[in-house]
Amino acid sequence: MPINSLENASKYSDELDKVFEQKSATGFFADNTLATKFVGAKTVIIPDVDFQGLADYDRDTGFSRGAITVSNTSYTMAMDRARSLQIDREDMDETGIANLAGKILGEYVRTKVVPECDAYVISKLAGLAATRSNLINGNVAKPFEALCDLITEVQSKVGYDEELVAFVDSAMYATLQNSNEISRMITVSDFKQGEITLKVKSINGVAIIPVVSERMKTSYTFNNTTAGGFTPGANAREVYMLVCPKSGAHLVKKTEQMRIFTPEQNIDADAYKFDYRIYYDVFVEKSGLDSVWAWISPVVTISAQPSNKSVTAGSISGSLSVTASCSGSTLTYQWYACEDANGTGAVKVAGETSSSMTIPTDLTAGTSYSFAQSILDGIARPDSRVAKVTVS
């Protein structure tokens, strides 16, 4: 009994969109795209409407005529990402195809697609805030005060009846929850995201959305290598907090219809093949450019990266080292061992918390990889390059 490729493709696409809505920290921005329309494969038009203010009524001439300016701004989506996945015929029986494929594709969206989209959206909004100097200088010991400052800045631009959201780095969120001020003011409220309603913590009606640190950077490299995925940019800074109106950005997400091929249709392998492709980008209207505010970590400069080493098994000696600095701040360090030059599967190396790490003397012939995190305020954690140790 062959799998119905067309029908399942439609069902999978719908279900994957629901996974995106449920798991994405920034997915609610997709609710703001009703006033947009596609004019090309990767181009969107978003209207910006501007009015003239009120004028005096004249008893002789009547009403003063006012102009309505509608400017249609074209935006081009920058992110065109895709991946082809295969499941060997022998890994499933006929009755389990749809079930296993659904689980695999759902997990792929949850662990790969959603984190990348969140990272891109937050980095772009933080970059906008930095470009327009919409930044505050907060105190990490007083996170509640910093959050209030951000909310005040946004409300001074959009008013007090606009629904706001605050994205908070996970480490800062933990600090925030332990502050005495927030424990007295925090409430749990409903938060609409697509077709689902979430329960989120809020302060004075502002939804607080915690986001893991890996998605809270100012810049990323979106890889086109075999491993794919995304990594923080070379000069990426930590986004401690970011506040904006819930309707302040448009996440335009155009998911292509999922393509499914049976083993008989797949000319490359005896396997079921699933092609996933997504166009997406986030845009802020001209009228809302100054309604996005952020608190960003100071710049951590890594002036000397760890170098690759070649050692001999049985007589291993030497170390890896990094030199980092941040104006007016003291850094701490943590070294990690990983599986490859991309930092995959990073695991902390116990006890290696200085700027240098002694190469383990028990390494066997082969290749190992390590890198260091330079930790600022216990939150910002820019990584060094990954160093390769070759043991002969």
10 Å Cβ neighbour count for 364? Answer: 8
Residue 33 banded pLDDT, cuts 50, 70, 90? low
Using alpha carbons only, what angle is made at residue 165 by residues 167 and 243, rounded to the nearest 5 degrees?
60
State percent of the chain over pLDDT 70.
Answer: 86
Contacts 24+ apart (CB under 8 A), 272-275: 272/3, 272/86, 272/87, 272/89, 272/92, 272/97, 272/101, 273/84, 273/85, 273/86, 274/12, 274/84, 274/85, 274/86, 274/87, 274/101, 274/104, 274/105, 275/82, 275/83, 275/84, 275/85
- Residue 62's region, left for phi above 0, alpha for psi from -120 to 50, else beta, is left
Q: Which of 127-131, 325-329, 367-371 has the weakest average pLDDT? A: 325-329
The more confidently predicted of residues 2 and 277 is: 277
Q: Quote the CA–CA distance of 54 and 50 in Å, as a whole number.
A: 13
- State the DSSP code for 74: E
Q: Quote the CA–CA distance of 374 and 237 in Å, as a whole number.
A: 12
Q: Which tens digit of pLDDT belongs to each residue from 205-258? A: 889 999 998 899 999 999 887 778 888 887 889 999 999 999 889 888 776 567
Residues in the chain: 392
The more confidently predicted of residues 254 and 361 is: 361
Q: Assign 180 to helix, strand or coil.
A: helix
Residue position matching structure tokens 């999978």:
12
The H-assigned helical ranges of 109-238 are: 114-131, 143-158, 170-177, 180-185
pLDDT at 5 over 50: yes
pLDDT for res 1: 39
Q: Assign 320 to helix, strand or coil.
A: strand
The mean pLDDT value for 10-30 works out to 75
Inter-CA distances, 349 with 38, 241, 336, 380, Å: 49, 29, 5, 19
The more confidently predicted of residues 167 and 251 is: 167
Per 3-state DSSP, the chain is made up of helix, strand and coil in percentages (nearest 5) of 25, 35, 35
Of the candidates 209, 187, 38, 48, the residue with the CA atom closest to the CA atom of residue 118: 209
- State the DSSP code for 109: I
Q: Quote the CA–CA distance of 144 and 152 in Å, as a whole number.
A: 12
Torsion angle, alpha carbons of 336, 339, 340, 346, to 10: -30
Residue 306 banded pLDDT, cuts 50, 70, 90? very high
pLDDT for res 373: 92
Handedness of CA 334, 337, 343, 346 (dihedral sign): negative
Residue 239 near residue 50, CB atoms below 8 Å: no
State percent of the chain over pLDDT 90.
Answer: 36
- State the DSSP code for 256: P
Residue 306 near residue 321, CB atoms below 8 Å: yes
Residue 5 near residue 265, CB atoms below 8 Å: yes
10 Å Cβ neighbour count for 348? Answer: 12
Q: Quote the CA–CA distance of 143 and 198 in Å, as a whole number.
A: 24
Return the structure tokens found at 246.
């819930």
